[in-house]
Every structure is written in C-alpha cells, then in structure tokens.
Amino acid sequence: MTDKGQPFTPAKLAGLTLKNRVIRAGCFEGMCQGGQVTDELVEHHRRLAAGGVAMTTVAYCSVSADGRAFDHELWMREAIVPGLRKLTDAVHREGSLASIQLGHAGFFTNKGIIGKRPLGASAKWCLFMRSYCREMTREDIDEKVHDFVSAAVLARDSGFDAIEIHAGHGYLLSQFLSPWTNRRKDAFGGSIENRLRFPVKVIENTRDILGPDFPILVKMNQIDGMKNGISIHESQIIGRAFEFAGASALIPSSGFTSKIPFLMLRGDLPIREMSRNQESSLDRLGLKIFGRLMVPEHAYRPLFQLDGARKILEAVDIPVIYIGGVESLAAIRQVLDDGFSFVQVGRATIQDPEFVTKLEAGLIERSPCDHCNRCVAAMDAGGVYCVSNNEGFLGQGAGS
Ligand SMILES: Cc1cc2nc3c(=O)[nH]c(=O)nc-3n(C[C@H](O)[C@H](O)[C@H](O)COP(=O)(O)O)c2cc1C
C-alpha cells in the first residue's frame, strides 16, 4: 500500500502552492560552458521535475559577470532569458515548479574569468583561488544590491516561480555576515547589525520589486563552522532579520566553500577525482598530496543539519526548509513533524531523479546514495551525475 501521508500533500509557500513537500536543492550542475543555458541543463531539470519534486532549483547563478568562480556556471543577463524560459517551460510541462539560486562568489571569484580583482567584504587572501580581493566600497555595495535586484527581475521574467538568494556557504552575502571575512570598520562591519546591513538591503530591495507574494527563499548558514565564523546565536538574529526584510522562507545550512566546503555535505572526500580536474599538473599533484590537509573531512549522518536548523526554526515565524542528509521517507516525516515546512534534497535526487516518485509509490524507503561525493568532482568534469549509479544522470537525451 502506498502511504500518501504528509510528505506528498500540497502546501503553500508565499503565493505559491507546491504539490508536495520535496524541493530539489541547488546543486551546481556544471553544464553551462561560457555561462550559457544548455540543452543538458534543461533536460537535467526536466528529468527532476518528471521525477516528482514539487520544485527544482537551478543552482548557483551569479547575479553579475564579476560574481563567477567558474566558466561553466550561469550568470544572469538578458541574453540567457530565452534559454531559461525553455527550462522553466519544460519543468512546468512536467507539472513541477522552478526556482533559481542567485548569488555572488565575492572573494573566491576567479580573477582569470572575471578579468579583474575579486571583491570582498574586507581585503583577504583566498587560498582556494590563490588571489587577493579588494574591500568593497560603498559604491560597490550599491552596485551589487542593484545586481541582485536586476537578476531577480530577469529570473521572474524567465518564468521562475521562486528565487533563492544565496546568503550562506561563504558566498558574498555570507562573507559580510561572517567575522572571518568581514573585518570592516564602517557601517557594514563589526556588530551583527552592521554585518547584516548589506544582505538585508538585498532582500528588502528584492522584495520591494517583486511584490508581496513572490516567493523569495534565502539560503543561510546556521554556523560557518570555523573559528571566528558565525555562531548559532548570531544565525538566529540573522534569520529574524531576513524574515523582517521580506524573506518568504529560510534554508539553514553550514560551511564555507573556500575553507570548509564539505561541512555542508559530509561524507567522503573525492580527492583523487577532484585532483584530476585541476588545470596544471602542479595543482593536480598538490591536491593529491595536500588535499586531506587542505579540505577537512566531516562524518556523514542522516539529517546532519537538524540541531542547528531547529534553532533557526525556533527563532522565526516564516517557513523553514530543512536541508542536509534527507535520504528516506522516515527522515522527511521526522522533519515535517518537527515543524519544518518543506525539505530540500540534493544527493538523493542526483543519485536518482525519480527519488520522490519512487518514495511515494512505495518502491523504495530510502536512497542508496552512499555519500561518496564523487558527484561533486563530476560537476567540474562535464556535468554533475551519480558516479556510483551506472545509469548516470547528466541530462542524457538532451537535444535528441
Ligand atoms: C554536486 C553538488 C553540488 C552542489 N552545489 C551547490 C550549489 O551550487 N549551491 C548550494 O547552495 N549548495 C550546493 N550544494 C549543497 C546542496 O545544496 C546541499 O546543501 C547538500 O548537498 C546537502 O544536502 P543532501 O544531503 O540532500 O545532499 C551542492 C551539493 C552537491 C552534492
């Protein structure tokens, strides 16, 4: 007997009704060479939509050309609106909704790709990109607020049903929130109120332009995870500030891409596969030898963000979307029982885009994903797919 309990019932998110409680998490696809929307990207999200998620999230899309860390990622501009429209149409035809994650990589943008010195909250060396960013001026801050707003409008015009502002994982807004990256002495640094000023402005201005009903999800950190990062106490203040600024829902995660990238994932470190993706032989060798020292490993457990996410849930009155280690029907039930409104699922849907349909039909109880994280290396080697699953999942069939 199929159990059609709470996970598969519709629920509201701002002005939107989602057909069930499962949203595909933003997982960088690595399918957008030259920043273009490709057939592979469209097919990837069509297959996720067909596989039963209520809403799929196109992963990290930079709000401007100078927010890119890689050449194979999207950056928002008029020229890609027709391609994005093709993607949202394909998702809608499968009976699902589409969201897009908007962000800026700040101090870990790639100097070689953006053609200028990276921007950051404070001047800082980035080991990850081996570059030194410059502290953003007041004018830079105003310009980036404007870029977020313009990108949100283009996303809506492309047919997206929701946007997800990236204020976590050590991206630019998170770099302003974190004392590890923000050592400013002006109105944008120091106290948590000051560190919040720029991210809050982004959310407020985006809300103003999109109107009261358009869903604005905000992904944030409940902890950064390193010494001098934000604490749970501060993230509760951040969650409340985002709520008052106009966020429709929060997605509490953790980790800092340029420092502790696997805290948000947990599980194995695919060092060998990641080292193969390095451009120079010196980098390949360096990562192979020093990888385990440079990239800390964190043990995986189901629902690994639950304790911190509950603290955010306690602090706010808007929906909180649980993310991190959702791999079974029992886990989805547990977090919904806890009071979370939806779940976001990453690796289980990379392993099998039909994860939700199969759960609902009672064909599986849990995902066979073993957190080898080789999908993370795959996203920089042609496009994300499950390396363990022989059938793979790379948007196959695109264009055929
Ligand atoms: C291949 C891959 C790519 C990811 N890319 C992003 C990204 O672009 N933006 C983001 O916020 N999180 C990204 N994440 C993190 C996921 O959104 C999610 O937080 C994490 O995978 C934990 O959820 P899970 O246990 O359901 O996989 C990525 C994860 C994976 C596995």
Ligand 1 atom index nearest CA of 25: 17
**Residue 318 scores a pLDDT above 60:** yes
Neighbours of 317 (CB within 10 A): 7
Q: Is ligand 1 within 6 A of the CB of residue 30?
A: no
Per-domain boundaries in the chain: 6-378
Residue with tokens 């869903």: 215
Q: Are 383 and 40 in contact (CB under 8 A)?
A: yes
* Protein residue with least CA distance to atom 22, ligand 1: 324
175-192 pLDDT, tens digit per residue, is 999 999 999 999 999 999
List CB contacts of 357: < 8 A, sequence separation 6 or more: 51, 52
Whole-structure pTM value: 0.94
Task: State the CATH class of domain 6-378.
Answer: alpha beta
Give 289 Cα–ligand 1 centroid separation in angstroms.
25
Q: Is ligand 1 within 6 A of the CB of residue 309?
A: no
Give 87 Cα–ligand 1 centroid separation in angstroms.
20
Distance CA 290, CA 293 (A): 5
Average pLDDT in the chain: 92
* Protein residue with least CA distance to atom 25, ligand 1: 325
- Could you tell me what percent of the chain has a pLDDT over 90? 82
* Range 362-373 burial, b when 16+ CB lie within 10 A, else e: eebeebebebbb
* Protein residue with least CA distance to atom 15, ligand 1: 27
Q: Are 322 and 306 in contact (CB under 8 A)?
A: yes
Distance CA 223, CA 319 (A): 19
Residue 101 exposed, middle or buried by CB count within 10 Å (0-12, 13-18, 19+): buried
323-382 pLDDT, tens digit per residue, is 999 999 999 999 999 999 999 999 999 999 999 999 999 999 999 999 999 999 988 888
Q: Are 80 and 74 in contact (CB under 8 A)?
A: yes
Active site residues: 171
